[in-house]
Each structure stands twice: as C-alpha cells, then as structure tokens.
Amino acid sequence: MHAANRQAWDEAAERYEGWFAEAVALISSGGSNLFPVEEQLIGDLHGRCRRAIHLQCAGGRDTLSLWNLGADEVIGLDFSPRMLDLARRLTAAVGAPATWIEADVLETPHALDGTADLLYTGRGSLMWVQDIDRWAAVIARLLSPTGRFVLFEGHPAEWLFDVAEDGRWIATDYDYFAGPEASKGWEPGYIDHLSLADDDQSTKFARAWTLGEVVTALLQAGVRLERLTEHNVDWWSGHGDALPEERGRIPLSFSIVGRAPGRPAD
Ligand SMILES: C[S@@+](CC[C@H](N)C(=O)[O-])C[C@H]1O[C@@H](n2cnc3c(N)ncnc32)[C@H](O)[C@@H]1O
C-alpha cells in the first residue's frame, strides 16, 4: 500500500509544482504556510530550536515555514522524489539551511534519532500510513531529550460527514472502523484534476486512524502527551460549501503536543 501511495503522490506532485512561485514568494518574504492554530502550538522557535524535523514534508513549503518561525535548521522527509525535487528547488531559491531525505516515514534513518528539538507532522499525513505503532515508534526515537512533538491533523470524524446540496451536514457511508480504503483520483478541493486521467492514476490507500488508535500508539511508544485538542478548523477547505451556521459544529481537525519519552513536561 505504501508503494502504491508513493506512486500516487509522485503524480500529485504536479499540483504542488503549480504552487512553486507562490511558495518562493511566501518563504522569501519571511512568511508561513502554517495555520494560526499550528503556529500557536509550535510557538516562536528563535533561540530554542536547533533542528526541526518535518515528516511527510511534500514540497517543503511548510518545512521552510518552520525555518521562518525561527528553527536554525530544518529537515524534511518524504517518500516522493518529485516532491523532494520541488523542495530542493524551493531551498535553492530562498537560500534556506534545509536537508531533504527521501524515505518512507516508517524507515526514517536512525542517524536522526534523538535530534529533533521540534518534530512536526500532519495536515493530511497520518491517513497514508498503514502501521500506526511503527509510526509512533519513529516519533519517540526522533525527539531530542527536550524535544517537542506537534501534530495537526484531519479529525477522523470528518470522514463521517459530507455537505449536502442545501449546505447542511449529512452522514457519509464511511465505516469509521473499517481500515484502509482504495481510491483513484483526488478531491476537487484538494489536489483536484491532474494531467493524468483519474483512471490512469495509481490506486492509493488512505484510512482515518481513530483518536484512540493515535493516542494509544503514542502512549505505548513512550511519548509523553501534553495535550490533545479537537478543532473546527477546515484544514483542507474540503467543506467550503457548508452553511455558515453548520460550520463549527463538528470537529474537522485535531492536534497533539507531546514530549520525548521519559522527560517531565515543562
Ligand atoms: C498532504 S501531504 C503532507 C502535508 C503537507 N503539509 C501539505 O499539505 O503539503 C502528504 C505527504 O505525505 C507523503 N507521504 C505519504 N505517505 C508517506 C510515507 N509512508 N512515507 C513518507 N512520506 C509519505 C506524500 O508523498 C505527501 O507529500
């Protein structure tokens, strides 16, 4: 499933390539592509973050946002070579101290163990990973002794709701407990249409990990959880046609802040 997803994401990199000029302008002007809620969780990194690691970094725009927030050095990891080419071009354009690693997140190189002062991931990452326990073990081993883990992700409940023609929420037929779903093609509000027809694209496998599965995996890996928060932030603009009075009624995203195993919270 990861091999298929890698192929699908390499195809989807076409959409990110279209955002290149915008990304250069944003990063070179000192801006950030992160949501305000993410910036609040991450905080000002100046003088307190030698290394930020971003897992599943795509084209590097969010990774380099961490540099603009004050990280001395950023490392982005992704399994799509085409995404990383884009990240390298972006780095060259803005002159950032960044390193890009091509690997499956479950096989993050051990050379990075214990080095992340900030370990950040999310915004459509976890749903592609098919082994949550192995993923949590990676989180635990990458954190430096005083490192912080920040995740901001789509809420699994989001999969249960869609917007009807009248702008109100209706239930989808998604089975919350079913596991991975195979699909071809992308949502219009997200990646949209690619030059490759939907039928010719790679099949991809995504799943909504439940909050219980995510939290339990992190706890069992030894990550010291500080907070789990549910948000009504529409993280991928997938529900733009919901009525204003329907907005804010259901959780669309969640965040987790944690610490390295065995260290007391501040
Ligand atoms: C939605 S993007 C990540 C969020 C990013 N902030 C964005 O919106 O651009 C998902 C990324 O995860 C990567 N990815 C998916 N599964 C992966 C895996 N098992 N190992 C490494 N990267 C993976 C994809 O290549 C893609 O770049």
The parts of the chain modelled with pLDDT lower than 70 are 263-266
One-letter identity of residue 15: R
Q: Is residue 74 part of a domain?
A: yes
In angstroms, the CA 258 to CA 134 distance is 17
Q: Say how many Å lie between the CA of residue 78 and the centre of ligand 1.
A: 6
Q: Is residue 108 part of a domain?
A: yes
Boundaries of domain holding 105: 2-259
pLDDT at 264: 55
pTM of the model: 0.96
pLDDT at 265: 52
pLDDT at 49: 98
Cα dihedral 44, 46, 47, 51, rounded to 10, equals: 90
pLDDT at 9: 96
Mutate to test the pocket of ligand 1, among 1, 9, 11, 132 (most ligand atoms within 8 A of CB): 9
Q: Is residue 266 part of a domain?
A: no
> CA separation (Å) from 162 to 173, 187, 190, 242, 265?
10, 13, 15, 9, 38
Mutate to test the pocket of ligand 1, among 34, 128, 152 (most ligand atoms within 8 A of CB): 128
One-letter identity of residue 83: M
Q: Is residue 237 part of a domain?
A: yes
Q: Say how many Å lie between the CA of residue 153 and the centre of ligand 1.
A: 12
Q: Is residue 224 part of a domain?
A: yes
Q: List, chain by chain if needed, residues with CB within 6 Å of any ligand 1 atom.
A: 2, 5, 9, 56, 58, 62, 78-80, 83, 104-105, 123-125, 128-129
Q: Is residue 265 part of a domain?
A: no
pLDDT at 266: 56
Q: Say how many Å lie between the CA of residue 147 and the centre of ligand 1.
A: 22
- Ligand 1 atom nearest to CA at 105: 20
pLDDT at 220: 98
In angstroms, the CA 209 to CA 215 distance is 10
* Number of domains comprising the chain: 1
Q: Which residues face 143 on adjacent strands? A: 116
Span between the terminal Cα atoms of the chain, in Å = 39
Q: Is residue 264 part of a domain?
A: no
In angstroms, the CA 155 to CA 171 distance is 15
pLDDT at 154: 96
CATH number, residue 201: 3.40.50.150
Return the closest-CA partner of residue 239 out of 155, 144, 127: 155
Q: Is residue 245 part of a domain?
A: yes
- Ligand 1 atom nearest to CA at 9: 25
In angstroms, the CA 234 to CA 169 distance is 14
For atom 27 of ligand 1, the residue with the nearest CA is: 58
- Ligand 1 atom nearest to CA at 83: 27
